[in-house]
Structure 1
Amino acid sequence: MALPPPLPPGSTIGILGGGQLGRMTALAAARLGYRCVVYSPEAHAIGGDVAVAHVQADYGDMAALARFAAQVDVITYEFENVPEATVEACQRHKPVRPGVRAIHVAQHRLREKAFFRELGLATADYQAIASEADIAAATALPGILKTCTEGYDGKGQVRVADRAALAAGWAALGRRGCILEALVDFTAETSVIVARGLDGETRCFPIGRNDHRDGILRTTMVPSGLPAATVATAERYGIALARGLDLVGLVALELFVARDGSVLANEMAPRPHNSGHWTLDACATSQFEQLVRAVCGLPLGPTDMLFPSRMENLIGHEADDWLRYLADPAARLHLYGKTSARPGRKMGHVTFVPAAAPSRSTT
Structure 2
Amino acid sequence: MSITLPGPTLGVVGGGQLGRMLAEAAAPLGVDLVVLDPTPDCPAAPVATDQIVGDFDDADALDELAARVDALTFEIELADPDRLAAASEEHGVPVHPDPGTLETIQDKLVQKEALADAGIPVPEFVAVATAEGLERVVEEFGGVMLKARQGGYDGRGNVPVETPDEAADALDQIGGAAMAEELLDFEREVAVMGLKGADGETRTYPVTETVHREEILRESVSPARADDAVVAEAESVARDVLDVLDGRGVYGIELFETREGEVLVNEIAPRPHNSGHWTIEGARTSQFENHVRAVLGWPLGPTDLVAPAVTVNVLGDVHESRALVSQPESRRDSGDVDERGAATLRNVESVLDAPDADLHWYGKDDVYPLRKMGHLTVTDRGATDEADPDALLSRARELRDGLTFRDA
TM-score band (shorter)?
A: over 0.9
- The answer as to 2:353 corresponding to 1:324 is no
In 2: Cα distance, 1:12 partner to 1:197 partner: 18
- 2:367 maps to 341
Q: CA deviation at 1:79?
A: 1.3
Per-residue deviation, 1:68: 1.3
- What does 1:74-93 align with in structure 2 at a 5 Å threshold? 74-92=71-89, 93=91
TM superposition shift of 1:7: 7.7
Q: Which residue of structure 2 aligns with residue 360 of structure 1?
A: none
Separation in 2, partners of 1:239, 1:6: 28
Structure with the larger RCO, 1 or 2 (CA within 8 Å, 6+ apart): 1
- 1:117: how far off? 0.9
Tell me the secondary structure at the aligned position of residue 135 of structure 1. Answer: helix
- Aligned partners of 2:360, 2:294: CA distance in 1, in Å? 24
Q: CA deviation at 1:341?
A: 1.6
Counterpart-to-counterpart distance in 1, 2:4 and 2:62: 21
What is the aligned partner in structure 2 of residue 247 from structure 1?
247
2:34 matches 1:34: no
Q: Which position in structure 2 is the counterpart of 1:115?
A: 114
Amino acid at match of 1:215: E
State the SS of the aligned residue for 1:46: coil
Q: Which residue of 2 aligns with 1:161?
A: 162
**In the alignment, residue 274 of structure 2 is paired with which amino acid?**
N
| SS of alignment partner, residue 265 of structure 1 | strand
Give the Cα–Cα distance (whole angstroms) in 2 for the partners of residues 285 and 140 of structure 1. 42
Q: Aligned ranges for residues 144-183 of structure 1 at < 5 Å?
A: 144-174=145-175, 176-183=176-183
- Residue pair 1:189, 1:210 contacting (<8 A) in 2 also: yes
Partner of 2:402: none
Q: Aligned with 2:82: secondary structure?
A: helix
Secondary structure of the residue that 1:128 maps to in structure 2? Answer: strand
Cα deviation per residue 1:90-127 (whole Å; 9 max; x = unaligned)? 22222101121221121111111111112221111111
C-alpha contact 2:220 2:312 (8 A) present in aligned 1: yes
- Which deviates more, 296-305 or 8-17? 8-17
Q: Which moved more, 1:240-249 or 1:178-187?
A: 240-249
- In the TM superposition, what is the alpha-carbon distance from 1:140 to its structure 2 partner? 2.7
Task: Provide the TM-score with structure 1 as the length reference.
Answer: 0.93
After superposition, give the CA deviation of every residue in 1:242-291 in whole Å (9 maximum; x if it has no partner): 22112210111100100001011100001001011011011100000000
Deviation at 1:10, TM superposition (A): 2.2
Partner of 1:271: 271
Q: Does 1:48 align with 2:74?
A: no
Q: What secondary structure does 1:48 align onto? A: coil
How many residues align structurally? 353
Q: Is the partner of 2:367 in helix, strand or coil? A: coil
Q: Does the 8 A contact of 1:145 with 1:166 survive in 2? A: no
Give how far 1:5 is off. 6.4
- 1:279, 1:287 within 8 Å by CA — same for their partners in 2? yes
Residue range with higher mean Cα deviation, 53-62 or 21-30? 53-62
- AA aligned opposite 2:380: P
**Bigger radius of gyration, 1 or 2?**
2
Q: CA RMSD in A?
A: 1.8
SS of corresponding position for 1:281:
helix
CA distance in structure 2 between the partners assigned to 1:62 and 1:261 by the alignment: 46
User: Are residues 196 and 60 of structure 1, via their aligned partners in 2, closer, same or farther at CA, if it must alter by over 3 Å?
Assistant: closer
Q: Any idea what the Cα deviations from partners look like across 1:62-101, whole Å, max 9, x if unmatched?
A: 2322221111000110112212233223222221011212
Q: Does the 8 A contact of 2:317 with 2:370 survive in 1? A: no
Q: Per-residue displacement from partner, 1:129-178 (whole Å, max 9, x unpaired)?
A: 1124523542233111111111111111211112221122112322x211
Identity percentage of aligned residues? 39
Which residue is 2:389 aligned to? Answer: none
Query: Partners in 1 of 2:290 and 2:118 — Cα distance?
Result: 24
Question: Is the CA contact 2:129–2:177 (under 8 Å) kept in the aligned structure 1?
Answer: yes
| 1:230-245 pair list within 5 angstroms | 230-245=230-245
Distance 1:5 1:245 in 2: 27
- For 1:351 and 1:335, locate their aligned partners in 2 and report how far apart those are by CA, in whole Å: 12
**Aligned positions of 1:88-237 closer than 5 A:** 88-92=85-89, 93=91, 94-138=93-137, 139-174=140-175, 176-237=176-237
Judge conservation of contact 1:194–1:252 (CA < 8 Å) in 2: yes
**For the residues of structure 2 that align with 1:236 and 1:169, how far apart are their CA atoms?**
35
Whether contact under 8 Å (1:65, 1:89) holds in the other structure is no
1:121 and 1:218, CA in 2 relative to 1: closer, same or farther beyond 3 A? Answer: same
The unaligned stretches of length 5 or more in structure 1 are 358-363
Q: Is the 8 A contact 2:135 2:165 kept in 1?
A: no
Alignment deviations for residues 267-325 of structure 1 (CA, whole Å, 9 cap, x no partner):
00010010110110111000000001101111111111111111000001494332211
Instruction: Encode CA deviations 1:168-225: one digit per residue, 9 max, x unaligned.
Output: 2112322x21111111111111001111102111110011111001111111111113
